[in-house]
A = this chain, B = another copy of it.
Amino acid sequence: MIDTIEQSPLCPIVNPGSIAIFGASNKPTSMGTNQLLSLTALGFEGKIYPVHPKEKEVLGFKAYQSVLDLPEVPDLAVMILPTKAVPQVMAACGQKGIKHAIVVSGGFNEVGGQGKDLEEELKETAKRYGITFLGPNCLGVVNPHHKFNMTFLPFEGKPGFIGLASQSGSLVTQLFGYLDRFGIGFSTGISVGNEANIDIVDGLEYLAACPHTRVIGLYIETIRRGREFMEVARAIAPHKPIVAYYVGGSEAGKRAGFSHTGAMAGPDVLYDGVFRQSGIVRADSITEMFDFCWALGSCVKPAGKRVVIQTHSGGPGAAAADACGREGLVLADFSSETLKKLKPFVPHTGSVNNPVDLTFSRRQEEYFESIPEVLLEEAEADVLMLYCSTPRKAFERGMKAMGIEDAEIGPFVEEIIDKQISLLAGLKESHPKTFVGFSFRNESNRFVRNLSRQGIPVFPSPERAARAVSALVRYNKLMHKLGA
């Protein structure tokens, strides 16, 4: 195990100061060009050296005919080239003294036949020159904290706390916008491709040492170094939670994984055991992997599995209770003290049961301060789940009916919503307890968007919230078993 990222072979690949790029040109449709465009768009501050056989300039950068012509030895070479050209270019990089590379090009092991020979050749060449490399058949890396997006698609959003090591490149590139909608994002995303050299275990180690990473996500089609994987994961998990999605769980997934990266998936039950014994929380889908990362990276770990649900609507409250029940969570029974404290807030049509159902008839501040405070203070409960449905249009309509001028309505509604959020955020600060929201509204709703950005994740359905809470509970159990 490493202690700092500098000890990882991935360090210069994820945080390069200078890059040679092969395959970028002035042809805007080529993949290499797009990777260079992504790089510059995020404002990469290091040196960029395009290597191109014919062009004098590539997207405004001076281009070099050969890597040997570069004025310095760059930290990293990135190759987006026809398959057959790769081993040769790798050799030239070696001659130049380059020690780290990303091979984006596909057509190796994953296609079989001659591709396997080419991958062998690539490995041998790299070994000969002491080059550590990522790929082939990968989509690069993203490290927004370093303004470094070495992938095909433009980065969207902000630097975040989720470290991802993935055997699918799409997960690194195609989910920027998805994560940003929830107000989360990657600390670093690493597409490991065929893992001819650097593999997912190296990715794990790097992310464990990365100070921007609070939680690690793994997309797995196969594990090539089983023993090392388990040892490393077990050492990391108590300090930094790990969530894994294994795609080979079904026969169909297995077949698809094989044709994708040539991965030989094992029986689902085997992987299940590996994850459990490694202290890794298993997710059943990509969506769930990021939900779990969101919860594990944002929330205080619950002491137990007793949940309180606060709602102003019976149906969503009941659905949340049902979802908790299915996930093995239990609804907390309130202490007599809590019941006493709640009594004045609950109208006669509401309920003093759990879910705490307040209907629509009470004052706003109670829903966002007094009541959640009582619930967070309940010693018999470990988690608060809050139903969030702030119907902005209804607010606006009410203000219009009150005679407030049109131009003032927008800012006034926003002020109210922001006040509600600051009350809840204050409670989160003063009460170190697991606190999540759920809603059928999405990030286009100011309340949902901004509450999430205050570290109270608002999941887009009761069952996703319940699943995420159960992942927190499972993490605790796994750590208990590890003796951590």
Size range of the chain A interface in the assembly: 35 or more
Residue of B nearest to A391 (CB): B153
Give how many copies assemble into the complex: 2
The interface centre, meaning the residue of A28, A314, A354 with most chain B CB atoms within 10 A of its CB, is A314
Which single member of B318, B398, B444 contacts A34 (CB below 8 Å)? B398
Q: How far is the CA of A250 from the CA of B391 in the complex (A)?
A: 29
Indicate whether A349 sits within 8 Å of B397 (C-beta atoms), given known contacts A31-B361, A219-B315, A322-B250.
Answer: no
Mark each residue of chain A from 87 to 112: 1 if its CB lies under 8 Å from any CB of chain B, else 0.
00000000000000000001100110
Whether A360 sits at the interface, judged by CB under 8 Å, is yes
Across-interface contacts of A245 in B (CB, < 8 A) = 319
Identify the stretch in A8-16, A169-177, A198-206, A336-344 within 8 Å (CB) of chain B at 4 or more residues: A169-177
Residue of B nearest to A400 (CB): B28
Across-interface contacts of A393 in B (CB, < 8 A) = 153-154, 156
Q: How far is the CA of A314 from the CA of B256 in the complex (A)?
A: 8
Indicate whether A349 sits within 8 Å of B315 (C-beta atoms), given known contacts A250-B326, A287-B461, A461-B287.
Answer: no
Which single member of B29, B168, B259, B463 contacts A313 (CB below 8 Å)? B168
Residue of B nearest to A245 (CB): B319
Q: How far is the CB of A110 from chain B (nearest CB, A)?
A: 8
Q: How far is the CA of A26 from the CA of B398 in the complex (A)?
A: 11
Indicate whether A168 sits within 8 Å of B255 (C-beta atoms), given known contacts A250-B325, A284-B463.
Answer: no
Q: How far is the CA of A40 from the CA of B398 in the complex (A)?
A: 13
Q: How far is the CB of A353 from chain B (nearest CB, A)?
A: 4
Which single member of B287, B326, B361 contacts A249 (CB below 8 Å)? B326
Across-interface contacts of A353 in B (CB, < 8 A) = 255-256, 259
Whether A321 sits at the interface, judged by CB under 8 Å, is yes
The interface centre, meaning the residue of A153, A245, A260, A397 with most chain B CB atoms within 10 A of its CB, is A260
CB–CB A321/B253 < 8 A: yes
Q: How far is the CB of A73 from chain B (nearest CB, A)?
A: 29
Across-interface contacts of A348 in B (CB, < 8 A) = 107, 111
CB–CB A318/B168 < 8 A: yes
Whether A184 sits at the interface, judged by CB under 8 Å, is no
CB–CB B28/A398 < 8 A: yes
CB–CB B394/A256 < 8 A: no
Across-interface contacts of A219 in B (CB, < 8 A) = 315
Within 8 A of B (CB), among A371-406: 389, 391, 393-394, 397-399, 401-402
Across-interface contacts of A74 in B (CB, < 8 A) = none
Whether A330 sits at the interface, judged by CB under 8 Å, is yes
CB–CB B285/A323 < 8 A: yes
Indicate whether A314 sits within 8 Å of B261 (C-beta atoms), given known contacts A252-B321, A284-B463, A321-B255.
Answer: yes
25 contacts between A and B (CB under 8 A): A26-B401, A28-B399, A34-B397, A83-B349, A110-B349, A166-B315, A168-B313, A169-B314, A221-B318, A247-B315, A249-B325, A250-B321, A252-B324, A252-B331, A253-B321, A255-B354, A256-B314, A256-B318, A256-B322, A256-B353, A256-B355, A285-B461, A286-B319, A286-B462, A287-B461
